[in-house]
Amino acid sequence: MREPVAANAAAACATALGSAAARRLPKAEWQALVANYRHSCAWRASWQLINTLGPYGLLTYLMYVSLGMSFWLTLGLMLFAAAFLVRLFIIFHDCAHGSFFGSRRLNDVVGAVAGTLTFTPYFYWRARHTAHHATSGDLDRRGAGDVSTLTVREYLACSRWQRCRYRMERNPAVLFVLAPLFHFVISQRFCRRSASWRERRSVYGTNAAILAVAVTFSALFGIRSYLVVQMSVMLLAGAAGVWLFYVQHQFEGVYWERGENWDYASAALRGSSYYKLPGILRWFSGSIGFHHIHHLSPRIPNYHLRRCHDAGELFRSVKPVTLLSSLRCLSLRLWDEQRGRLVGFRRLQESIEP
């Protein structure tokens, strides 16, 4: 009974999206499109846990065994382990949205365990990520879980030191190597002063669990082996995770608006990318490339995102970011409010008013 309604809604929404005049999509129409996919599936979720945790555990053991045998073998195992850790983070992410399992308690338990393995305090991260979804694409509410982005005017108003610092923060070596390690290994061991007691307990509990795992593996294989394996995998997985997040909100044609003009549906469909990845990369990234759908309806679990995308003409009309074209996103650094687009430092002079 819902299919004809969804089809009609898709056609109406697609027309609205293509119209320059109709920028705000009717809530009832896009909700009809996602209604069939806003439910969890116990067997799909359980199978994802098995085919993610199982190989990750085996790879972790093999990495320790391979140390001292062959550098290339260990490196290959680390690459695969990092890929599975990214997939585990997507499961963690879905649990935080309450979409992975139908049970809230089960989501919290699995999320807390996955948070230990990904060095991310579950409840603390969930609060920050919820704020990100509520403010994504809003220029007046930037900063909640976003990649730091200045407007051209703000950048020009900065001191020389502030400009230098911003350029360093946006440097690929810092953004995809140093920042992930700092964020996952150091920054998330502490919490903000404004954090609730539940969030604080999440940070302290995760720290204690990470310490227990570190002591156990150090006792079994040696502290040096633990640090080599754990930090290498965290570096690789963190770099991949930050890259995915970067491309999801820093791409050509991205949506940013001031608060009074900001619209939730527009921010989701135009401010979050459809990152069209090859099948194997889509599998390891938990279909998070369908980020426009995820931001439109965070309660859709990752294992339903592709089906939702394929079912609606509205979603198929969103221009994808391909693996090759995503490399151009690295040159985008500042938001040009006058032209309504992201620009690089080399194009900065063109963005300055005459």
CB 328 within 8 A of CB 343: no
Model confidence at 196: pLDDT above 50: yes
Question: Pick from 101, 89, 88, 95: which is nearest to 52 by CA?
Answer: 88
- Where along the chain do its domains lie? 2-351
Over the stretch 307-320, which tens digit does the pLDDT of each residue have? Answer: 999 887 778 778 89
State the Cα–Cα distance between residues 61 and 51, nearest whole angstrom.
16
Q: pTM for the full model?
A: 0.88
Residue type, 217: F
Q: What is the mean pLDDT of residues 184-202?
A: 92
Q: Is the pLDDT of residue 1 over 60?
A: no
pLDDT for the residue numbered 20? 35
Amino acid symbol at 98: G
More confident residue, 48 or 351: 48
Q: What is the pLDDT of residue 318?
A: 83
Rg (CA), the chain: 21
- Tokens for 304, please give them: 């339903």
pLDDT, tens digit, 9 for 90 and up, residues 73-120: 999 999 999 999 999 999 999 999 999 999 999 999 999 999 999 999
φ, ψ for residue 243 (rounded to 5)?
A: -60, -45
Which segments within 111-224 are labelled E, that is strand?
150-151
